[in-house]
Structure 1
């Protein structure tokens, strides 16, 4: 199976799990108009009922939701546990509350709304599991068929077939007023359709009545019984199976093995990476209008920068322990996006160029909606805040536009811009039943700008549409106001007071100041980086100079040694040469002497013979003698003379030879020895090495002088920057002191902060000016958007047309919020990667499937939460969930009850750190670390048990000191030890008595009981605590789960637990999450009531005990 197919299978598995996650039904409560149907009492729409006496205005009507077959959710748990044998060693906190087998809506006349029937998927699936066993899950695909069959049977009960329908004419029905018998028949049909009569024993019928606006009654939604996301999961699973993936969702569904852990950077260890990621050019131009003296903490800024660094798509996880400023961080991210869109607007020479020439249309009733298409560079800034926790999304989007969300120093400028603050204030108005009375409105809450709005459920959306769009100012009603429709019509009928170019120039002036200040901080940052680099380089060059000098000294030494060796070789060679010369001279001398002697001897012989020859010449016979002897004498003389002459000649030849006697063979002249040649080569090489080393020293020294000059320049810039920026400058201490480092973001000093906040106000002014210049296009687009928000748009509206309308709303209101439960109904017309940004809050509490539809429709997601606070709660027993997962061939890493949206996002975030997770470590995304809520010892307790010392205490002493002065007799945090051998379940009555003393003491001190929270780990203890909230108005009491997201000055933790059931205590201590949430709710005091010996033996509770005195 290829990777995308596996991803689609994961979503299908999650969808199957969601079948067992029904919505809860309200308990019977006459004050809240929730009634049990009894045979002897009239139905809420009948004349005899108490509601009949209530007078409604002409604009109001009744709406009744009938819940058929109430059943206990823990009954589902029990039924599934009988099929999937539970682990006897485990303690599972079973789901609480009730749901119903089916539900439908009845109008004021007692007639059923025929398209409102809903069959419970959970009840039906439970019946199927019990009937078929747990060996296979393919039968779950039959729910739609079962629901359709039941719907037909139900319509036959609640309506009569119109005359003439059928036989080729579509069957139509007219609803009739319902009585007890009809409801009983409906219940019987629902129980039969689900097959749960014996399994869940559903019997009661319950009705919730509401007063609604008559104008919107026909389109009013109702509380569905099934998981709000199950249908959207099915839709997305089908899209994924066909390859229709968005990048954000594909990344979210990446298996663990495909994620590169080598890219991870621990921000607690790699401070240089943090320095780079928070450089001035990474800090966004826009900033929330908070006190310029109060910058974001370092990791808050790091989280903002990391989110904005996503190119076109991606998922970033932000770890937000309690009290670390998650909303503060998100506000700066929103400010950055608003400013960036304004910057792109400022490029337009004509505001009308914000739209292309393309127009899209759809019919809405008798009207045609016309939507203009936005330029591509002006979209992608849409921000949706979503969570599985309704309180979380409400808190974020109610806090952002509230007047106290900005510092007082900015209120005058914000008022001058007046970005629809009046509309924003009226959207913030608290009203439990916003549609209950159209003629009565609460006083508007103070707001500074229309930055965010709460959407989501039908009531919120209807209220938004009315307050934001349709409201008009009435002369006789000082509380009335103009909605944006009236404002835009006014704009259309008058010329703008200021030209577009002037509006742009004002924005650019504010932007230029931010850029100028950024450039100065970037100059300092670059100097810091240069100083770091040059310090290292200078040190390296100094080492290089020293090393080069050492090389030169060594070369000199080798050269000297080589010269000495050469000299010794030369001396030896000279001696050999001298000996050779002496021998040659001796031989030559002896040869000369020998030649001289031979010459003298030969000369003497020549002389002797010559004399003999001369004498013989004188003895030549005369002529007479020759004649007389007939020539014999002469011939004798002649022969003797020739012989004498020959002897002379022989002697002369000998003399000549003696003169020419060759020198004897001389000894061979000695050649240069190889050793001397080698020595001479060594000398030459050594001399070359000396020259090279000398040049190297000169080069290194020159480079050192240059770098030292650069370092000195960088040092001066750095020192000047340090003086200017103070704590926002990374001095030497910054690198080594984590508390100093993480307490404040770098570079964001008051001057730059003020300029960046002013730029946000200028950006809002430019947005408003844009509306002033193109009111017609915006009115038409926003009218279409109102259809979508209110749910009045046709279901077949084209995705691109719906998207352009939504983009227009996001242009005016940059942020909207919704729960995941309402996300698909709100944005159901949109397709893959349609919206720019998804901000998930309290993501640690959200099951992984909750975010699927939202991620599929978004490009970028910032997922904020804490996996070490409360984890998602699921209805299914773990064994049942595992069986379904195995049957669908899904890996365990996707187990719905063992992970969360936060954990899946954290895996994907390269910047983060590791925190303890059970007996190992878990990677979390960018960690927010500066805690500003709890005094001691609460801070140390949670920092120890859950965060491995990650958090830094930024609470400060002021609030604690004021509290101590106000309540000097209130004891410090402590453990109130209660030892009891008896209990009622997990409720220990003696602990209740000690609690009552604590509450009475607080009341006697005049303590504001809304600042007191009493929590317990077990539901049966929490039920007992709830009664105290009636005695002490304002007191918050319940399970630890109900305390998530809340805080109070005083928290009382009532531990309870059956002394005979240690497994329950082990369950509570299995992870730090539960204790972490309980303790971190307490700002000033924590009082723990329970058996110290039993509980302190448990993991994490031993730390709690160590920090709390008796």
Structure 2
């Protein structure tokens, strides 16, 4: 067996184990009667009971099949849970006991002439009954039922009375608790005897659905964390900006007050819902964060998209291609149109009713649109028929159970009849719509251009900031570098100047020396010339004879020449030295000039760089200024992700009231297109009514597809249809995979995961809206027993457990969401809370939402709240002193809108008795499940319990869910009544946080210590 089948089988076992409920006190006269252990004539007994029923006012139905149903071996379900817990040594925590009664099996008999006969296939052997008898879960309950059915058939084969006596007397009856029910139609056994989901779970085993696969095992696509807190490490500004580009906004809008746009995360959820390609997604909305509000805008956009596709069709009258009887034909609605059909589903019937009654309520339409929407008249007279309030049109209707489906079909029939009786066509509907469509689209395109400009503005501004910062930093560095280089050059220049001066001085000395030496040479030459004139006559002769005169002349002459030569040699050296000095001086002077030029070059280079950078910054600054001016003049608020967190969450960028007005007008124009299109295809509309009115005739293979084709027309005509999951399988029994355009699941956090399997298979796109941090799904089995089932079927325990919900599974399949904690991924989060004042808001925010929720500025004035400390002895969690205190309080404020809530069923029952005596409405007293999705001004949470019931007390406050839900039912005041000492001693962080918040918003911290 594969993982999918294991999970489905485990869910089937859970559902079957939950079957067989019987309320022995149901009805004013109790419809279930104790079956006698003996009667002489059972035929007379039951015929007499049938006569009594008709004499008491029950009228035989059109298809009357009178008879009775026997319910054998009634037992307390908690006894079975305790038995299984003990046998399998399950270590279960405390849970508020399920006091339901179960029957082991039931069987029906109908009156046939004068005798009663066993109704074929009427035996229902409950799994819980089998387990209660055998002390174990059956390997195959179907096989056990077949064996019992065979025995019963043999017992009643010949004689009813003997069979009854034998059956009653059989030792196999473990209990004398046997009951009977008299009924006018025994062939229509109470559908509540069976699970609502088993049939679809079995269907899923043989089906392939990508949506179901993703639902069970999560999506393999990369998760996108929509963290919108700029102080967070995972702040995802890029993805948030991308999603909130104007081109991703819807063109349609529900015609509510246009003064107010959606909050940031609401708009993100809408934009993803209408544009994301993935087919399963979750929206995680804490209490009061506008989940229903965003659904309205999504529904409006679906309507607009359908109208646009229709208006673009070359032929509005679709070809009748599908034969549904003889000459009767129906057109197949274009898939792109049916892809925008809307079904709302929930496990909470109140949630379904709230949506389908709220949407068409005239009070939901802003007064500026009211006249137009009423003039357009989208079958308003049909919508008003079943409504306690005036409506603006047949935009939504409740389906699900048989009577509701019949009402829908009646409305479809009446629509068809309207088209035949003086219907006023609106042939301009298509052109009017297209004209309005282009107007809204042009505004969206203009906003996109502005967004592109703003994106460029942010880019340029960032570049300006970065370049300015870089410039300022580099300017200091470059100035310092330039200064250092010039300083270094200056030192070198100074040294060069010294060398030049030294060389000049040396050269000047050499030149002086050379001049002096030249003069000496001249004098010496004159001396030689004078000596030459003194040459004796006949010198050569005198020299030859070595005359003294010749010798003296020669000596004098030689001396003079020697000195001259010395002076000439010296002069040559001086001139050589001068030449070297001159060369060196020129070199130094050239080097000096080069350094002077280099210093100037360094200065020029720096100045040029500085001028270039400043020009760039000036240009960028001018661009920023021009773009900012254009953005400001547009009058549109752009998406500024640098805003503080609270402001950012409340912002709705890009579009103004004017755009929202035109969006609403487009939605109304789309309804006019729908109406005209239905008129032009009235034969198909009529066919849809006929097919669904005789659905059984079309449940065979060759015709089965006609049921889905007909549904597309029905859901197109009534844009939003709601159903509970309990009625889903019955309503869509004959529809295959991927046959419903969009399924929106409301209050998904409170729905058991198996309840949505049929929706996952049939829905093309599914969005779950809810909050797992509120009350978890109601399960009749303990967590330990569920764990036992998961183990038996080898099913994943992260799915088969007592706390998973439709919301938790859808969240895991969602591409977009929020990493709430390291371990917990949730769907698209909504953060702006618009219901409860403080301290209720802060209790909820701190307990369950990591302080991410935001309270609008107009709700900052605190309400009232405190812990009323009352202890005392308890009896099954009920503390009489707490009841007395509450009775006294409520007796003085009966006109106020008050809910009284308790975690424990017995406390609720006792409070109903007590408060009923002062005229308090008992319907306003209940467990938290009673008030899920509701709100009022004042809430009293009665915790109950005493020291002897610490396990029960800890169960109530071990998780934040219960106090979170109770606190957020209250708009203005919230009081917890309980033994403060007991609950403080439990070590519960939930209690600690709650008390701390109460003290932050109350002057009564000391008073909370004792309240008598």
- What's the TM-score, normalizing by structure 2? 0.81
Q: How does 1:909-948 map to 2 (within 5 A)?
A: 909=814, 912-913=817-818, 922-948=824-850
Residue number among 870, 875, 882 corresponding to 1:978 in the alignment: 870
- CA distance in 1 between counterparts of 2:272 and 2:264 reads 12
Q: Does structure 2 retain, via aligned residues, the 8 Å contact 1:369–1:784?
A: no
Q: Does structure 2 retain, via aligned residues, the 8 Å contact 1:21–1:227?
A: yes
Residue number among 217, 224, 227 corresponding to 1:265 in the alignment: 227
Matched, 1:1035 2:922: yes
- CA distance in 1 between counterparts of 2:50 and 2:742 reads 51
Task: Tell me the equivalent position of 2:425.
Answer: 497
- Partner-residue secondary structure (3-state), 2:900: strand
Task: Tell me the equivalent position of 1:848.
Answer: 753
- Partner-residue secondary structure (3-state), 1:880: helix
- Partner-residue secondary structure (3-state), 1:930: coil
Task: Tell me the equivalent position of 1:432.
Answer: none
Matched, 1:245 2:188: no
Q: How does 1:205-284 map to 2 (within 5 A)?
A: 205-207=179-181, 209=183, 222-239=190-207, 244-246=208-210, 248-254=211-217, 263=225, 265-267=227-229, 269=231, 270=235, 272=237, 274=240, 276-284=242-250
- CA distance in 1 between counterparts of 2:456 and 2:298 reads 30
Task: Tell me the equivalent position of 1:35.
Answer: 32
Task: Tell me the equivalent position of 2:341.
Answer: 382
- CA distance in 2 between counterparts of 1:415 and 1:862 reads 31
Task: Tell me the equivalent position of 1:735.
Answer: 643
- CA distance in 1 between counterparts of 2:121 and 2:337 reads 40
Q: Does structure 2 retain, via aligned residues, the 8 Å contact 1:37–1:43?
A: no
Matched, 1:352 2:317: yes
Deviation at 1:503, TM superposition (A): 1.6
Q: Does structure 1 retain, via aligned residues, the 8 Å contact 2:400–2:731?
A: yes
- CA distance in 2 between counterparts of 1:306 and 1:292 reads 22
Matched, 1:94 2:97: yes
- Partner-residue secondary structure (3-state), 1:1061: helix
- Partner-residue secondary structure (3-state), 2:209: coil
- CA distance in 2 between counterparts of 1:208 and 1:692 reads 107
- Partner-residue secondary structure (3-state), 2:652: coil
- Partner-residue secondary structure (3-state), 1:893: coil
Deviation at 1:589, TM superposition (A): 14
Deviation at 1:1018, TM superposition (A): 1.4
RMSD: 4.9
Which range is displaced more, 695-704 or 812-821?
Answer: 695-704
Matched, 1:1057 2:963: no
Does the C-alpha gap of structure 1 residues 97 and 422 become closer, same or farther in structure 2, counting only changes over 3 Å?
A: farther
Deviation at 1:180, TM superposition (A): 7.7
Task: Tell me the equivalent position of 2:722.
Answer: 817
- What's the TM-score, normalizing by structure 1? 0.74
Q: Does structure 2 retain, via aligned residues, the 8 Å contact 1:298–1:745?
A: yes
Q: Deviations over 1:11-40 (max 9, x none)?
A: 443333333232633333342762224337
Does the C-alpha gap of structure 1 residues 54 and 883 become closer, same or farther in structure 2, counting only changes over 3 Å?
A: closer
Task: Tell me the equivalent position of 1:1095.
Answer: 983
Matched, 1:450 2:394: yes
Which range is displaced more, 1095-1104 or 671-680?
Answer: 671-680
- Partner-residue secondary structure (3-state), 2:103: strand
Does the C-alpha gap of structure 1 residues 985 and 519 become closer, same or farther in structure 2, counting only changes over 3 Å?
A: same
Q: Does structure 1 retain, via aligned residues, the 8 Å contact 2:31–2:181?
A: yes
Q: Does structure 1 retain, via aligned residues, the 8 Å contact 2:226–2:236?
A: no
Which range is displaced more, 674-683 or 1021-1030?
Answer: 674-683
Matched, 1:423 2:382: yes
- Partner-residue secondary structure (3-state), 1:1051: strand
Residue number among 124, 127, 142 corresponding to 1:121 in the alignment: 127
Does the C-alpha gap of structure 1 residues 933 and 832 become closer, same or farther in structure 2, counting only changes over 3 Å?
A: same
Task: Tell me the equivalent position of 1:334.
Answer: 299
Q: Does structure 1 retain, via aligned residues, the 8 Å contact 2:425–2:676?
A: no
Task: Tell me the equivalent position of 1:1013.
Answer: 899
Deviation at 1:913, TM superposition (A): 4.7
Residue number among 325, 341, 348 corresponding to 2:290 in the alignment: 325
- Partner-residue secondary structure (3-state), 2:91: coil
Matched, 1:80 2:54: no
Task: Tell me the equivalent position of 1:288.
Answer: 254
Q: Deviations over 1:1022-1074 (max 9, x none)?
A: 23234357654743233233232333344333322243121111111111111
Which range is displaced more, 926-935 or 410-419?
Answer: 926-935
Q: How does 1:59-74 map to 2 (within 5 A)?
A: 61=64, 66=69, 68-69=71-72, 70-74=74-78
Task: Tell me the equivalent position of 1:166.
Answer: none
Q: Does structure 2 retain, via aligned residues, the 8 Å contact 1:291–1:407?
A: yes
Task: Tell me the equivalent position of 1:717.
Answer: 630
- CA distance in 2 between counterparts of 1:549 and 1:953 reads 47
- Partner-residue secondary structure (3-state), 1:92: coil
Deviation at 1:81, TM superposition (A): 1.0
Does the C-alpha gap of structure 1 residues 54 and 978 become closer, same or farther in structure 2, counting only changes over 3 Å?
A: same
- CA distance in 2 between counterparts of 1:1065 and 1:943 reads 23
Deviation at 1:538, TM superposition (A): 2.6
Q: Does structure 1 retain, via aligned residues, the 8 Å contact 2:735–2:762?
A: yes
Residue number among 194, 200, 203 corresponding to 2:177 in the alignment: 203
Matched, 1:459 2:403: yes
Deviation at 1:911, TM superposition (A): 5.3
- CA distance in 2 between counterparts of 1:1077 and 1:851 reads 23
Q: How does 1:1067-1086 map to 2 (within 5 A)?
A: 1067-1086=955-974
Q: How does 1:746-765 map to 2 (within 5 A)?
A: 746-765=653-672
Task: Tell me the equivalent position of 1:776.
Answer: 683
Deviation at 1:705, TM superposition (A): 2.6
- CA distance in 1 between counterparts of 2:177 and 2:920 reads 35
Which range is displaced more, 384-393 or 821-830?
Answer: 821-830
Matched, 1:468 2:411: yes
- CA distance in 1 between counterparts of 2:289 and 2:168 reads 50
- CA distance in 2 between counterparts of 1:228 and 1:490 reads 41
Q: How does 1:271-670 map to 2 (within 5 A)?
A: 272=237, 274=240, 276-321=242-287, 323-352=288-317, 359-361=321-323, 370-426=329-385, 428-429=386-387, 445-465=389-409, 467-470=410-413, 483-490=414-421, 497-499=425-427, 502-547=428-473, 549-550=475-476, 553-554=479-480, 556-557=482-483, 560-561=486-487, 563-564=489-490, 567=493
Q: Does structure 2 retain, via aligned residues, the 8 Å contact 1:383–1:816?
A: yes
Q: Does structure 2 retain, via aligned residues, the 8 Å contact 1:19–1:125?
A: no
- CA distance in 2 between counterparts of 1:464 and 1:975 reads 49
Q: Does structure 2 retain, via aligned residues, the 8 Å contact 1:1048–1:1081?
A: yes
Task: Tell me the equivalent position of 2:543.
Answer: none
Deviation at 1:914, TM superposition (A): 5.7
Matched, 1:697 2:610: yes
Q: Does structure 2 retain, via aligned residues, the 8 Å contact 1:318–1:924?
A: yes
Q: How does 1:858-873 map to 2 (within 5 A)?
A: 858-873=763-778
Q: Does structure 1 retain, via aligned residues, the 8 Å contact 2:85–2:91?
A: no
- Partner-residue secondary structure (3-state), 1:265: coil
Does the C-alpha gap of structure 1 residues 989 and 540 become closer, same or farther in structure 2, counting only changes over 3 Å?
A: closer
- CA distance in 1 between counterparts of 2:133 and 2:975 reads 46
Equivalent pairs counted in the alignment come to 955
- CA distance in 2 between counterparts of 1:895 and 1:859 reads 25
Does the C-alpha gap of structure 1 residues 679 and 350 become closer, same or farther in structure 2, counting only changes over 3 Å?
A: farther
Q: Does structure 2 retain, via aligned residues, the 8 Å contact 1:569–1:679?
A: no
Q: Does structure 2 retain, via aligned residues, the 8 Å contact 1:835–1:858?
A: yes
- CA distance in 1 between counterparts of 2:176 and 2:507 reads 132
Q: Does structure 2 retain, via aligned residues, the 8 Å contact 1:450–1:813?
A: yes
- CA distance in 2 between counterparts of 1:485 and 1:1101 reads 60
Deviation at 1:712, TM superposition (A): 1.8
- Partner-residue secondary structure (3-state), 1:311: coil
- CA distance in 2 between counterparts of 1:672 and 1:886 reads 103
Deviation at 1:993, TM superposition (A): 3.2
Does the C-alpha gap of structure 1 residues 822 and 23 become closer, same or farther in structure 2, counting only changes over 3 Å?
A: farther
Task: Tell me the equivalent position of 1:477.
Answer: none
Structure 1 residue runs of 5 or longer lacking an equivalent are 133-138, 161-177, 212-216, 430-443, 471-482, 614-662, 962-971
- CA distance in 2 between counterparts of 1:1089 and 1:875 reads 27
Does the C-alpha gap of structure 1 residues 836 and 998 become closer, same or farther in structure 2, counting only changes over 3 Å?
A: same
Deviation at 1:773, TM superposition (A): 1.6
Deviation at 1:61, TM superposition (A): 4.7
- CA distance in 2 between counterparts of 1:1058 and 1:268 reads 46
Does the C-alpha gap of structure 1 residues 696 and 343 become closer, same or farther in structure 2, counting only changes over 3 Å?
A: farther
Deviation at 1:582, TM superposition (A): 11
